[in-house]
Chains A and B, each alone.
Chain A
Amino acid sequence: MGSMTLLFSATTLSYLVASILYLVGMAAKRPQAGRIGRWVLLAGILLQASCFAVRHSTAGGTPVTSLHESLSFFAWCLVLLYLLLDLRFRLSVMGAFAAPLAFFVMVGSALSPDIVVQLNPVLKSWLFPVHITFAFLGHAAFALSFGAGVMYLVQNRMLKSKHFTGIYQLLPSLDTLDKVNYTCLSVGFPLMTLGIISGAFWASTAWGTYWRWDPKETWALITWFLYAALLHGRLTVGWRGRKAAIFSIIAFMFLLFTFLGVNLLLGGYHTFEAFAAIR
């Protein structure tokens, strides 16, 4: 447990350091800081991956059964996708969004009780990690598309109002932000789809039915339809820019509710407590 806690803290710390680097780089207009932040983030996900490995070897099973573990895994997915995106588009500014988000998710994870839940034998299946991984990577991609959407709206507003603040120089062009938004959507949507499908198969092996209209399932479906509509609008109607940015922000709000709100407010068998309970 000691090495795990240490790795967890080191990861959180590296996300914090990266956040500071990105934010300072942005405030002081020093892009070098962002370049260092990138390496710190990379160190962070490697540390976190070893944290997962240690957890897996000590507790066994997939380490995403408690809120603590889920949040931590989500932070990891987020940083991983951000780094991939950064590799493609060179988006240091977005680091100032992704790194602090990852840090706060880690803090949230640290604050929630760190319990190693022994999975109900009924739920033990190779589909479980597959379902979780797809769903979380999808969530992370949508979180980044949300970030790109917000940045697009800010930049768009400045260009329209012709009133430019300091951040104008730092933000990428509208074209780049729109592309990022689209890339995240086109990556996130298939991942989410696979997440839902693998979840359905898992449910069928555990309970014999694919779909039970559990609140989480219902809300996930609503969110899925929203993203499907956005993707459709983009591909066929030619939605882009501001409209697509606003839409991805709204859809992310639904996703957030599906991810956290349902668990905290509505209950159902997707709650973390329910994982361990005998049904």
Chain B
Amino acid sequence: MNIIVVGLSHKTAPVEIREKVAFPPTGMELPLQQMLALPAVSEAVIVSTCNRVELYAASRQPEMAIIELRRFLADFHNLSAADLNDHLYDFTGLEAIQHVLRVAASLDSMVIGEPQILGQIKTAYGYACEFHTAGTILNRFLHKAFSVAKRVRNETAIASNAVSVSFAAVELARKIFDSLENKTVMLVGAGEMCELAAKHFVSHGVAKVLVTNRTFSRAEKLAAELNGTAVNFENFPEQLHRVDILLSSTGAPDYVLSAKKLKEVCKARRYKPMFLIDIAVPRDIDPAANKLDNIYLYDVDDLQGVVQANLKGRQKEAAKAELIIKKEVNQFQSWLATLEVKPTIVALRQQLEQVRQAEMEKTLASLGELNEKERKAIEAMTSAIVNKILHHPTNILKQASNDGNGNLYLDAVRTLFDLPAQKELTSDSDPFDQS
């Protein structure tokens, strides 16, 4: 049994293509059922986010399944297969397992370590459960993916630092003030980035929001949105001594705040620290202010610098995560392999048992009258022969399944003993738990 992935992501397809193949969350039943109905596909999960659309399948005929899944994705969205094919990737076996684990652990994300993807895969799996399209293998596989993602998150610092400018600002503020409760934030100007950062500050519990803008009505509007107070632009400097965190993004050509003014403010605040975030270009706050004690001034480049450094840090952590994933891939693969070995061993046993029974009937018939004891002796002897012959090959098969050579041996055994094609596995039981 193989795991197969067919799909596309932000790395292989532009948004114009991605939006065409996305599956709306409201109508997942139809595509899932259609995917499951494909002849070579025995289990189906569909992951659809704005950055990736991926089909996860379990199949006995991987080559067939890939062709079918590629066609399915094009047909379902009424696209020409030729157009879509260039953007699609497919993975089988170990590669597929690795790919899904990497995606779930957010190593394949546009922003490495972003936390949403795991939730999105969980949702996708939820649909598959709801419509009964995931079976033994995908169930086990996705749970594995979730636990690996969790492990990566816990054991590496992959998601520990902010990688957006507005979050970086909040993180810096917390390194200065510790807690943001009972802190006051002031917005000077009403740029979009300022607004976003202000929302982050509000969600981290700042006590008070002041908004000022040259156009007072805009200040009022934004203040209402943020549950804050609007302040007249003309006299906002008078309010500065109350402000702990200042976000500035006016369109002013010159500095709105001079270092001299800030020095006075500092004194009026009894030198309580102040965090100034200047997102405006050209800048609003005299950069010399950063030299003042207890004033921490960050402009947009500084924040970008922090974000870049954090991203670099994440990449370093990603290398650690890859090692974790490599181990887990092998572990899962060996589980899959035992899934193959078990029925083969059973079939082999049955085959030999049939031969034994048939030959014994013949022999017993030709020998004529035998007493119970003699009959039992023959029975025991033939059984012992079969068991002795099977003992070593069975062990080898079990071993091989653990170190990845399983398929080779299984193929050989099936051919040599002319075993019938394997039946679909129906039980949900874990082969590791038996015998």
Contacts and interface: CB of A to CB of B under 8 A. Distances in A.
Contacts of A155: 175
Contact of A241 (B178, B179, B273): B273
Report the interface size class on chain B.
Answer: 20 to 34
Given A159-B172, A240-B272, A241-B273, A175 B177 contact: yes
B172 A173 contact: no
Interface in A221-270: 238-243
Interface stretch (A46-54, A162-170, A193-201): A162-170
A160 B296 contact: yes
A175 B273 CA distance: 9
Interface in A166-218: 168-169, 172-176
Nearest to A238: B270
Given A164-B306, A238-B270, A241-B273, A159 B296 contact: yes
Taking each of B175, B270, B302, which has the highest tally of chain A beta carbons within 10 Å of its own beta carbon?
B175
B178 A172 contact: yes
Report the interface size class on chain A.
Answer: 10 to 19
B61 interface: no
A124 interface: no
A35 interface: no
Contacts of B38: none
Nearest to A159: B296
B276 to A, nearest CB: 12
A174 B271 contact: no
- Secondary structure of the A side of the interface? helix
A240 B178 contact: no
Contacts of B11: none
Given A160-B290, A241-B293, A242-B293, A174 B273 contact: yes
Nearest to B174: A173
Given A155-B175, A169-B160, A243 B293 contact: yes
Nearest to B296: A159
A29 B178 contact: no
B176 A175 contact: yes
Given A29-B157, A162-B302, A164-B306, A175 B271 contact: no
A151 B243 CA distance: 26
Taking each of A159, A162, A169, which has the highest tally of chain B beta carbons within 10 Å of its own beta carbon?
A162
B306 A162 contact: yes
A-B pairs with lowest CB-CB distance, top 6: A238-B270, A173-B178, A175-B178, A162-B302, A238-B271, A241-B294
Given A172-B178, A174-B177, A243-B271, 4 more contacts: A160-B296, A169-B157, A173-B174, A242-B293
18 contacts: A29-B157, A155-B175, A159-B176, A159-B296, A160-B290, A162-B298, A162-B302, A169-B160, A173-B175, A173-B177, A175-B177, A175-B178, A240-B270, A240-B271, A241-B273, A241-B293, A241-B294, A242-B293
